[in-house]
Amino acid sequence: MTDDDDGRTYLVVVNDEEQYSIWPDGKDVPAGWRSVGVSGGTAACLDHIERVWTDMRPRSLREYLKAAATDRPHDA
């Protein structure tokens, strides 16, 4: 068996910064994280994360950059 096929079930979890990870099913999800409702083997969970986590920047950074871009004066 490889690390990708360890026979265990994992949950896909996300934090308030919209960063994703996997967590062993049956263990309490750590504070600040929540399950997204997807579970399965390592490979299946990581495949899901790869599909949905398309912007690796933390949410706070994305929001900051968006606000900074809209606060900039436009060239005339």
| pLDDT per residue of the chain (76 residues) written in tens, 0 to 9 | 345 568 999 999 999 999 999 999 999 999 999 999 999 999 999 999 999 998 878 788 887 888 888 877 665 5
Under a CB-based contact definition with an 8 Å cutoff, are residues 19 and 34 in contact?
no
Tokens 């929540």 sit on residue: 34
Q: Which domains does the chain have, with CATH numbers?
A: 3-71 (3.90.820.10)
- The gap between the terminal CA atoms of the chain, to the nearest Å, is 62
Given the structure tokens 């062993």, which residue do they identify?
24
The answer, as to whether pTM is greater than 0.85, is: no
Say what the pLDDT of residue 75 is.
59
Say which DSSP state 74 is in: P
Q: Residue 73's pLDDT is what? A: 67
Confidence (pLDDT) at 55: 83
